[in-house]
Amino acid sequence: QVQLVESGGGLVQPGGSLRLSCAAASGSNFDINAMGWYRQVPGKQRELVASFTISGSRNYADSVKGRFTITRNNAKNTVYLQMSSLKPEDTAVYLCNARIWVGLYLNDYWGQGTQVTVST
């Protein structure tokens, strides 16, 4: 089993910045196939914010391009989301997602979510 541990959410004023972190950990050997961030607002569909694909390319939602940057530290099995120029509409629970090989099995894993609130 793999756990995704997120950190870095909070309350920030419009125009401010936050950095989210998500670390994958397990007692077993594993290989990360893809990893990224989604966000969820009550009553709305969960949406992809940013992700790394297996090839290493980055995908961003149109709404965050130019403001958010996803990076990773492969040695630490950690992905980061640097969020700048935050807007009230960025308020959501941000969830880390990873597609991970554990042995012969490829599974999706989700973090517990971290709240980001952009407000005055």
Read off the pLDDT of each residue in 2-16 and give the average, rounded to a whole number.
95
Is the predicted pLDDT of residue 56 greater than 90, yes or no? no
Q: What is the pLDDT of residue 103?
A: 87
Q: What is the pLDDT of residue 11?
A: 97
Lookup result for tokens 């961003």:
60
Q: What is the pLDDT of residue 86?
A: 98
* Helix, strand, coil in percent for the chain, rounding step 5: 5, 60, 35
Is the predicted pLDDT of residue 112 greater than 80, yes or no? yes
> At residue 45, what is the residue type?
Q
